[in-house]
Structure 1
Amino acid sequence: MVSLTPHRVVVLALDGVYPFELGIPNRVFGVADGRYEILTCSVDGFPVRSQADFGIAVGRDAAVLETADTVVIPPCDIAPYLAGEPPRSVTDALTRIRPGARIVSLCSAAAVLAATGMLAGRPATTHWSVTDQFRRVFPELRLDPNVLWVDDGDVLTSAGATAGIDLCLHLVRADYGSEVANMVARRCVVAPWRDGGQAQFIEQPIPPTTSTGTATARQWALARLHLPLTLAELAEQARMSHRTFARRFRDEVGVSPGRWLIQQRVFQARELLESTDLPIDRIASEVGFATGTSLRQHLHEAIGVSPIAYRRNFRQARRDKLLRPAEPGYVPAGRRPSEPSNCSPQR
C-alpha cells in the first residue's frame, strides 16, 4: 500500500489576529491521522499582536508559504485593508504563494485577499457585519453575505467563527472523502456537515435555553431519511404545532425543514457514492429520494454533477492523492478535484 504524502497547510498569522480562528486549522486538520502537516508563520517570523490581551509567538516567516499546498489566513485587524492600504510586507508575503496552492480566508480575512487583488471578480463571502464596508471598498467583489462559505476552486472564503470550521471540514471532505471528514468532526465534537449555501445567522434571536428546540426531531429524522418524512411528523417529534416548528427550525438551522431534509439526503448519497458500488437507484432509495432521477436532480442542484460523474471524480482524486510526487500520474496536493464549486445558496 502506498503511503500518504501529507498535505501541507500553512497558516499566516497577521497583526491583530483572532486567536480562536487562528487555532481552527490546527484543530481540524491536525486530527486527520497525519494526512496534513500544519505550519504557522508570520510575515517576518516575529510575534504578532492578537485581538486578545496576549501576543502570538510563531517560529517561521513567510518563506514557508512557498512550500504550502493550502494557505489559510485567519481574521485580523482589517482596518488597513478596508482603507486600501495593505501593508507592503503582507503584499510581498502573499506573492510567495506558489501557483496551484489553495488560498483560504476565514471570516473577515477576506479583506486581505480583496485588498491585494486576489478576489477580483470572484464570488466570496465574509462576516455579515462587514458586508456594507466590503461592498463600498471592493465593488468588484461578487460578495454573497448570506452563505457560510464559498468554494471558488483555488480560493475559498468563509463567514464568521464556526463557519471556518465548516470550511475546513469541507476541505477535508474534498481531499479525503466523507468518511475521513466525519471522523475529524467526531474528534472535534462538531457537526459533520453544514452546506456552504446555508444561511448565516444574521441578528436572529437565539431561542432561550429553557425552550424546546428542534434538535430531537432532527436526530429522529436523520435515522429515518429513507422514509417519506413529513412536516407533521417532525413537528410531532418536537411536540410543536406545524407553524411553530417551521419557524423555530429556521431560527435554529437557517433553512426550512424541507430544504434541510434534501441537504441531508444529498450528503448521505455522496457518502454512499464515495464508499460503495451500489446502483444509483438503490442509493436513492437508501437516502429517501423516490427515484434515481430525483437523486440526480438534487445532486446536480447541490454540486453541479451527476452521481456517476461524482463517483468517478471522487475516486480519481483519491487515487491521485495516494501517489507519491516521484510516481507517474502524481497530481500536486494543491490541485482541486474536478468537482465544480459549491458557491450558490441552497434555497
Structure 2
Amino acid sequence: MKVTILLLEKLSLFELACAVELFALPREDISDWYQTKIVSLSNSTFEGLCSSHFTCEHVNQLEPCDLLVIPSFPVEAQTIDDTIRQEILKHFNAGGRIISFCSGSFLLAALGLLDNREATTHWRYSDEFRARFPGVIYREDILYTYDGVIGCSAGSAAGIDLGIEVIRQDYGHKIANSVARRLVLPAHRSGGQAQFVEKPLETAKSVLSNTLDWAVLNLTPQLSIADIAAKANMTRRTFDRQFIKHYKITPLHWLMQRKLDVAKTLLESTQHPIEHIAEQSGFESAVTLRHNFKKYLSISPREYRGRFKR
C-alpha cells in the first residue's frame, strides 16, 4: 500500500515524526509494508522550531495512493489553496483514505469531508471546531475516530493511536501490537481526552490498573464486574464510579472490549473452531461471540479471520 504524507503551510515536527514512525520506518520483518513518501503542494522547505528547517519533495499534483496523511493544519486558516483543495478531493473521490492528526481535522472539515461523519480534534479547539463546522458529528472525549475511510485524532500523540488502528485494519491485530510494542505503547488506550485535561488520581488508578490486569488473565464466561470489584476491594457502586471517572467508559464496555481483543488475536493466530475461541475469550457461547462481533465490529468472526489471518 502506498502512503503519502502531505505537508501544509506550517510544519509541526512532532506530528510529522509520528506519521513517519508509523508508516515510513522500514520494517524488514513485515512483508509488503507501506511505501511512503513526504510531499508538499506549496513549498519544498519548511521552517520548524529552534531555527530548524525541513525539506521535502515539491509536487504539482498528488500521485495515486491508498492513504493520505495530514499531520497538521493551521487552525486559524480561513481559506484553502485551490490546488490543495482539488488534489485532496481528487484523492478522496478516487477511493483513497485520509487521516489527520490534531488540527488537521480543520482542513478535512473545511473541505466538507467530515459532514455527517464523526470527528474529533484537540480539546483546546473543540468549541471553535463545533462553531465553524455544525454539520460534523463532533465527538469530544475520545482519542480518535476512524470509519475505515476518514480518521481524525484528538491531539498530536493521539495520532499514534489512530495510526495503530489503521495498521490493525490493514495488517491485523498481531502486526499492530508489534508496531505498538516497538513504540513502547499499548496497542489500544482506553478512555478519551478528559483523562489528560484533569490530573488523574494516581493511587486509585493504580489499584484499578492492577485489578484490570488480573481480569484480563482470568477471562471466563463466569467473570462478572462484581468479581472484578471484589478483587479491587471495592463495592460495586464505588468500583463503577471510580472506573468511569478514570477510563470514561463503563466496566461492562471495557470487559467486552477485552474479550473481543482476545477473540481477535485467537482468530488471527490459530485454527481453533469458533466454539473454542468463544470459551477462551470469555464468551458464554459461539452465538454470543458472533452477536457481539456484529454489534461492536460490524463483521462476523469468520469474516474477520478471513480478512486478518496471516
Same fold at TM > 0.5 = yes
Residue 18 of structure 1 and its aligned partner are, at CA, apart by 2.9
The residue type equivalent to 2:130 in the other structure is R
1:100 aligns to 2:95 (yes or no): yes
Give the fraction of aligned pairs with identical amino acids, expressed as a percent: 33
Distance 2:213 2:273 in 1: 27
Give the alignment partner of residue 37 of structure 2, picking from 31, 39, 55.
Answer: 39
2: CA distance, partners of 1:56 / 1:183: 32
Q: Does structure 2 retain, via aligned residues, the 8 Å contact 1:42–1:48?
A: no
Listed one character per residue, the Cα deviations across residues 141-172 of structure 1 (whole Å, up to 9, x for unaligned) are 23333433222332222222332111111111
Shift of 1:227: 5.6
* Structure 1 range deviating more: 215-224 or 304-313: 304-313
Between the two structures, name the one with larger relative contact order (CA 8 Å, sep ≥ 6): 1
Distance 1:18 1:233, change over 3 A: farther
Closer/same/farther in 2, CA of residues 205 and 141 from structure 1, 3 Å limit: closer
Cα deviation, residue 117, structure 1: 2.6
Partner of 2:253: 259
Root-mean-square deviation (Å): 2.7
Question: Per-residue displacement from partner, 1:65-102 (whole Å, max 9, x unpaired)?
Answer: 3143211101232211xx3x123453255356372321
After superposition, residues 167-206 of structure 1 pair within 5 angstroms as 167-194=162-189, 198-201=191-194, 205-206=198-199
How much does 1:262 deviate?
0.4
Question: The residue matched to 2:55 in structure 1 has which SS?
Answer: coil
Q: When the two structures are superposed, what TM-score results if normalisation uses the length of structure 2?
A: 0.85
Cα gap change, 1:37 to 1:135, in 2 (>3 Å): same
Report SS of the residue matched to 1:165. Answer: helix
Q: Secondary structure at the residue paired with 2:187?
A: coil
Q: Note the C-alpha offset of 1:216.
A: 1.1
> Which amino acid in structure 1 is aligned with residue 284 of structure 2?
A
After superposition, what is the alpha-carbon deviation per residue over 1:323-346, rounded to whole angstroms, capped at 9, x for unaligned? xxxxxxxxxxxxxxxxxxxxxxxx
**Matched positions, count:** 304
CA separation of 1:245/1:122 partners in 2, compared to 1, >3 Å: closer, same or farther?
Answer: closer
1:208-247 equivalences under 5 Å are 208-209=201-202, 213=206, 214-226=208-220, 228-247=222-241
> Using the alignment, how far apart are the partners of 2:236 and 2:117 within structure 1?
40
The runs of 5 or more residues in structure 1 that have no matched partner are: 1-6, 319-347
1:222-265, Cα deviation, whole Å (9 max, x unpaired): 21123633334433444545444333322332212221110011
How far off its partner does 1:128 sit?
A: 3.2
SS at match of 2:185: coil
Within the alignment, does 1:77 sit opposite 2:81 as a pair?
no
1:330 corresponds in structure 2 to none
Q: Normalised by the size of structure 1, how large is the TM-score? A: 0.77
